[in-house]
Amino acid sequence: MTAPETVLAFDFGLKRIGIASGDSLTRAAAPRPAAVSGPAGPDWAAITRQVRDLGPARLVVGAPYNVDGSESALTVAARGFAAELARRFALPVHLVDERFSSLEATAALKSRRASGERRRRVQRADIDSAAAAVILGRWFAGERH
């Protein structure tokens, strides 16, 4: 049996990059603070801190496809982000189809707020990191690109 591994997942976006972590033993994914992304690119310092703090064995990036399964401009950008993660951190990077992960994350967060489990308002960064948790959950469930 192999030792449990920490895995870090990313929901790549042009304004924010959602981040989630989990481990291969429990296969549970939890949102982490999102990183800012902008015209100059991702906030690599924030991403580096997350990688350094958690020491993941591998990384997972959501690949955004159109509803029909075709690639978009964002798919190419997410692949570039995944390649840069691999280059910077020398870790295996896996791609997972992220279609509808943000919708799933939004619904779950709103449900938690409506039930009283979550008190504060749902913000975009919360949704992005919750979407990263959905992506990581899919990877743990065996979905691979």
CATH of the domain at 129: 3.30.420.140
pLDDT at 30 over 70: yes
Residue 86 lies in domain = 6-140
User: What is the total count of domains within the chain?
Assistant: 1
Q: pLDDT tier at 72 (50, 70, 90 boundaries)?
A: confident
- Residue 134 makes CB contacts below 8 A (sequence gap 6+) with 29, 98, 101, 104, 105
More confident residue, 49 or 126: 49
Could you give phi then psi for residue 23, rounded to 5 degrees? -135, 155
pLDDT at 1 over 60: no
More confident residue, 92 or 28: 92
Per-chain mean pLDDT for the chain: 86
pLDDT at 49 over 90: yes
Q: Is residue 55 part of a domain?
A: yes
pLDDT at 114 over 90: no
Spatial contact of 17 and 47, defined as CB atoms under 8 Å apart: yes
Exposure string over 26-64, b if 16+ CB within 10 A, otherwise e:
eeebebbebbebeeeebbeebbeebbeebebbbbbbbbb
Q: Is residue 1 part of a domain?
A: no
Relative to beta strand 41-42, strand 29-38 is: antiparallel
Q: Is residue 145 part of a domain?
A: no
Q: pLDDT tier at 54 (50, 70, 90 boundaries)?
A: very high
More confident residue, 4 or 22: 22
What 3-state class would DSSP assign to 109?
A: helix
Q: Is residue 117 part of a domain?
A: yes
Which helix or strand (DSSP H or E) is residue 133 part of? helix 124-140
Spatial contact of 101 and 128, defined as CB atoms under 8 Å apart: no
pLDDT at 111 over 80: no
